Protein backbone atom coordinates (compact mmCIF):
# COMPACT_ATOMS: atom_id res chain seq x y z
CA UNK A 1 0.00 0.00 0.00
CA UNK A 2 1.68 3.21 -1.14
CA UNK A 3 1.64 6.49 0.76
CA UNK A 4 -1.05 8.12 -1.39
CA UNK A 5 -3.40 5.17 -0.95
CA UNK A 6 -2.82 5.14 2.81
CA UNK A 7 -3.63 8.83 3.10
CA UNK A 8 -6.77 8.47 0.98
CA UNK A 9 -8.05 5.58 3.08
CA UNK A 10 -7.43 7.31 6.39
CA UNK A 11 -9.05 10.49 5.05
CA UNK A 12 -12.19 8.67 3.93
CA UNK A 13 -12.62 6.78 7.21
CA UNK A 14 -11.57 9.58 9.53
CA UNK A 15 -14.22 10.93 11.95
CA UNK A 16 -13.75 14.29 10.19
CA UNK A 17 -15.00 13.00 6.82
CA UNK A 18 -18.45 14.61 6.52
CA UNK A 19 -20.80 11.63 6.63
CA UNK A 20 -22.48 12.63 9.90
CA UNK A 21 -21.58 9.38 11.69
CA UNK A 22 -21.61 11.16 15.06
CA UNK A 23 -25.40 11.55 14.80
CA UNK A 24 -26.14 7.81 14.69
CA UNK A 25 -25.85 5.35 17.58
CA UNK A 26 -26.97 2.15 15.79
CA UNK A 27 -29.54 1.46 18.52
CA UNK A 28 -27.01 1.94 21.32
CA UNK A 29 -28.86 4.92 22.81
CA UNK A 30 -31.98 2.82 23.31
CA UNK A 31 -29.89 -0.07 24.67
CA UNK A 32 -28.48 2.28 27.30
CA UNK A 33 -31.94 3.66 28.00
CA UNK A 34 -33.46 0.26 28.69
CA UNK A 35 -30.48 -0.90 30.80
CA UNK A 36 -28.83 -3.36 28.41
CA UNK A 37 -25.57 -1.40 28.42
CA UNK A 38 -24.56 0.27 31.68
CA UNK A 39 -20.79 -0.06 32.00
CA UNK A 40 -17.61 -0.73 30.02
CA UNK A 41 -17.95 -4.52 30.17
CA UNK A 42 -21.51 -4.32 28.81
CA UNK A 43 -20.36 -2.08 25.99
CA UNK A 44 -17.54 -4.44 25.06
CA UNK A 45 -19.93 -7.40 24.90
CA UNK A 46 -22.42 -5.34 22.85
CA UNK A 47 -19.75 -4.32 20.36
CA UNK A 48 -18.44 -7.87 20.07
CA UNK A 49 -21.95 -9.05 19.16
CA UNK A 50 -22.48 -6.23 16.66
CA UNK A 51 -19.18 -7.09 15.00
CA UNK A 52 -19.54 -10.87 15.01
CA UNK A 53 -23.26 -11.36 14.45
CA UNK A 54 -24.61 -8.02 13.25
CA UNK A 55 -23.86 -5.14 10.92
CA UNK A 56 -20.11 -5.33 11.46
CA UNK A 57 -19.83 -8.64 9.66
CA UNK A 58 -22.63 -8.07 7.14
CA UNK A 59 -21.44 -4.58 6.18
CA UNK A 60 -17.90 -5.87 5.74
CA UNK A 61 -19.20 -8.52 3.33
CA UNK A 62 -21.23 -5.89 1.46
CA UNK A 63 -18.15 -3.66 1.19
CA UNK A 64 -16.12 -6.53 -0.27
CA UNK A 65 -18.89 -7.45 -2.70
CA UNK A 66 -19.16 -3.85 -3.90
CA UNK A 67 -15.39 -3.75 -4.38
CA UNK A 68 -15.48 -6.84 -6.61
CA UNK A 69 -18.72 -6.12 -8.49
CA UNK A 70 -18.87 -4.96 -12.08
CA UNK A 71 -22.43 -3.77 -11.48
CA UNK A 72 -22.80 -2.50 -7.92
CA UNK A 73 -26.56 -1.87 -8.14
CA UNK A 74 -27.70 -5.31 -6.87
CA UNK A 75 -25.33 -5.02 -3.92
CA UNK A 76 -26.68 -1.56 -3.10
CA UNK A 77 -30.28 -2.81 -3.33
CA UNK A 78 -29.52 -5.70 -0.99
CA UNK A 79 -27.80 -3.43 1.53
CA UNK A 80 -30.83 -1.14 1.68
CA UNK A 81 -33.22 -4.09 2.02
CA UNK A 82 -31.27 -5.65 4.89
CA UNK A 83 -31.82 -2.74 7.28
CA UNK A 84 -33.97 -4.08 10.16
CA UNK A 85 -35.63 -0.75 11.02
CA UNK A 86 -36.51 2.60 9.49
CA UNK A 87 -33.83 4.37 11.51
CA UNK A 88 -31.12 1.87 10.60
CA UNK A 89 -32.07 2.22 6.91
CA UNK A 90 -31.76 5.99 7.22
CA UNK A 91 -28.43 5.53 9.01
CA UNK A 92 -26.79 3.60 6.21
CA UNK A 93 -28.43 5.43 3.28
CA UNK A 94 -27.85 8.97 4.56
CA UNK A 95 -24.25 8.30 5.54
CA UNK A 96 -23.68 6.60 2.20
CA UNK A 97 -25.17 9.54 0.30
CA UNK A 98 -23.00 11.99 2.25
CA UNK A 99 -19.89 9.90 1.61
CA UNK A 100 -20.69 9.63 -2.10
CA UNK A 101 -21.39 13.36 -2.45
CA UNK A 102 -18.11 14.40 -0.87
CA UNK A 103 -16.10 11.76 -2.73
CA UNK A 104 -17.65 12.77 -6.06
CA UNK A 105 -16.85 16.42 -5.38
CA UNK A 106 -13.25 15.83 -4.33
CA UNK A 107 -12.16 12.82 -6.43
CA UNK A 108 -14.55 13.15 -9.37
CA UNK A 109 -15.68 9.51 -9.25
CA UNK A 110 -18.90 8.24 -10.81
CA UNK A 111 -20.25 7.21 -7.42
CA UNK A 112 -24.04 7.17 -6.97
CA UNK A 113 -25.76 7.52 -3.61
CA UNK A 114 -26.12 4.13 -1.94
CA UNK A 115 -25.72 2.40 1.41
CA UNK A 116 -22.59 3.42 3.27
CA UNK A 117 -20.51 0.20 3.08
CA UNK A 118 -21.41 -0.24 -0.58
CA UNK A 119 -20.37 3.33 -1.39
CA UNK A 120 -17.06 2.84 0.41
CA UNK A 121 -16.41 -0.48 -1.33
CA UNK A 122 -17.16 1.00 -4.75
CA UNK A 123 -15.02 4.08 -4.12
CA UNK A 124 -12.17 1.88 -2.92
CA UNK A 125 -12.24 -0.05 -6.19
CA UNK A 126 -12.44 3.13 -8.27
CA UNK A 127 -9.44 4.58 -6.42
CA UNK A 128 -7.44 1.39 -6.80
CA UNK A 129 -7.00 1.02 -3.05
CA UNK A 130 -6.26 -2.45 -1.63
CA UNK A 131 -9.24 -4.22 -0.14
CA UNK A 132 -7.71 -5.82 2.95
CA UNK A 133 -6.69 -2.67 4.84
CA UNK A 134 -9.88 -0.93 3.76
CA UNK A 135 -12.10 -3.56 5.39
CA UNK A 136 -10.05 -3.50 8.59
CA UNK A 137 -10.05 0.28 8.91
CA UNK A 138 -13.77 0.37 7.99
CA UNK A 139 -14.60 -1.98 10.88
CA UNK A 140 -12.39 -0.07 13.28
CA UNK A 141 -14.01 3.24 12.28
CA UNK A 142 -17.48 1.74 12.72
CA UNK A 143 -16.69 0.50 16.23
CA UNK A 144 -14.85 3.68 17.14
CA UNK A 145 -17.92 5.73 16.31
CA UNK A 146 -20.08 3.58 18.60
CA UNK A 147 -17.54 3.96 21.39
CA UNK A 148 -17.69 7.72 20.97
CA UNK A 149 -21.48 7.51 21.15
CA UNK A 150 -21.16 5.53 24.38
CA UNK A 151 -18.92 8.20 25.84
CA UNK A 152 -21.82 10.63 25.50
CA UNK A 153 -24.28 8.19 27.05
CA UNK A 154 -22.28 6.50 29.83
CA UNK A 155 -19.67 7.40 32.45
CA UNK A 156 -16.97 6.14 30.08
CA UNK A 157 -13.69 8.02 29.82
CA UNK A 158 -11.60 8.44 26.70
CA UNK A 159 -8.82 6.20 27.97
CA UNK A 160 -11.26 3.38 28.72
CA UNK A 161 -12.79 3.87 25.29
CA UNK A 162 -9.41 3.45 23.64
CA UNK A 163 -8.73 0.40 25.79
CA UNK A 164 -11.96 -1.18 24.50
CA UNK A 165 -11.09 -0.32 20.89
CA UNK A 166 -7.63 -1.85 21.20
CA UNK A 167 -9.08 -4.98 22.76
CA UNK A 168 -11.39 -5.46 19.78
CA UNK A 169 -8.53 -5.40 17.26
CA UNK A 170 -8.09 -9.20 17.00
CA UNK A 171 -11.83 -9.63 16.39
CA UNK A 172 -11.79 -6.87 13.77
CA UNK A 173 -8.93 -8.58 11.95
CA UNK A 174 -10.69 -11.94 12.04
CA UNK A 175 -13.99 -10.59 10.74
CA UNK A 176 -12.23 -8.65 7.97
CA UNK A 177 -10.39 -11.78 6.87
CA UNK A 178 -13.61 -13.80 6.87
CA UNK A 179 -15.50 -11.11 4.95
CA UNK A 180 -12.96 -11.13 2.14
CA UNK A 181 -13.60 -14.85 1.63
CA UNK A 182 -17.39 -14.62 1.95
CA UNK A 183 -20.14 -14.09 -0.62
CA UNK A 184 -23.46 -12.30 -0.39
CA UNK A 185 -25.06 -15.67 0.35
CA UNK A 186 -23.08 -15.77 3.60
CA UNK A 187 -24.76 -12.65 4.99
CA UNK A 188 -26.89 -13.28 8.05
CA UNK A 189 -27.39 -11.57 11.38
CA UNK A 190 -28.53 -12.67 14.84
CA UNK A 191 -28.48 -9.49 16.93
CA UNK A 192 -32.06 -9.29 18.09
CA UNK A 193 -31.31 -6.95 21.01
CA UNK A 194 -29.59 -4.52 18.66
CA UNK A 195 -32.40 -4.70 16.12
CA UNK A 196 -35.20 -4.23 18.66
CA UNK A 197 -33.31 -1.33 20.23
CA UNK A 198 -33.20 0.39 16.84
CA UNK A 199 -36.93 -0.29 16.35
CA UNK A 200 -37.80 1.17 19.76
CA UNK A 201 -35.48 4.15 19.60
CA UNK A 202 -37.91 6.53 17.89
CA UNK A 203 -40.31 6.26 20.85
CA UNK A 204 -37.70 6.99 23.52
CA UNK A 205 -38.67 10.08 25.48
CA UNK A 206 -35.28 11.80 25.36
CA UNK A 207 -32.87 11.26 22.45
CA UNK A 208 -29.60 12.81 21.31
CA UNK A 209 -28.95 10.44 18.38
CA UNK A 210 -30.95 9.73 15.23
CA UNK A 211 -30.87 5.94 15.59
pLDDT at 38 over 90: yes
Query: How high does pLDDT run on average in the chain?
Result: 97
Does residue 118 fall inside a structural domain?
Answer: yes
Does residue 18 fall inside a structural domain?
Answer: no
| Cα 194 to Cα 109: distance, rounded to the nearest angstrom | 34
Does residue 74 fall inside a structural domain?
Answer: yes
**CA separation (Å) from 39 to 1, 50, 94?**
38, 17, 30
Helices (H), 83-154: 86-107, 116-127, 131-153
Q: Is 208 exposed, middle or buried (0-12, 13-18, 19+ CB in 10 A)?
A: exposed
pLDDT at 1 over 90: no
Q: What is the pLDDT of residues 84-124, one digit of tens each?
A: 999 999 999 999 999 999 999 999 999 999 999 999 999 99
pLDDT at 142 over 90: yes
Does residue 54 fall inside a structural domain?
Answer: yes
Average pLDDT for 30-54: 97
Does residue 52 fall inside a structural domain?
Answer: yes
| Number of C-beta neighbours around residue 174 at 10 A | 12
Does residue 97 fall inside a structural domain?
Answer: yes
Q: pLDDT-derived band of residue 46, with 50, 70 and 90 as boundaries?
A: very high
Helices (H), the chain: 3-12, 28-33, 40-53, 55-68, 73-82, 86-107, 116-127, 131-153, 158-167, 169-181, 192-200
Does residue 79 fall inside a structural domain?
Answer: yes
pLDDT at residue 205, as a whole number: 85
pLDDT at residue 206, as a whole number: 87
* CATH number, residue 113: 1.10.4190.10
Residue numbers of the domain that contains 195:
27-202
pLDDT at 48 over 90: yes
Q: Please give the tally of structural domains in the chain.
A: 1
Does residue 209 fall inside a structural domain?
Answer: no
Amino acid sequence: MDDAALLTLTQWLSPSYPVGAFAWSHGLERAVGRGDVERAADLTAWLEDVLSHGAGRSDAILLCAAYEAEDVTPVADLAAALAPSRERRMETLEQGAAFAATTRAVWGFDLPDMAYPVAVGRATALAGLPLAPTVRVWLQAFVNNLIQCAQRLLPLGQTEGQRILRGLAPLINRIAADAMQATLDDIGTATFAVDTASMQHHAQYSRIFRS
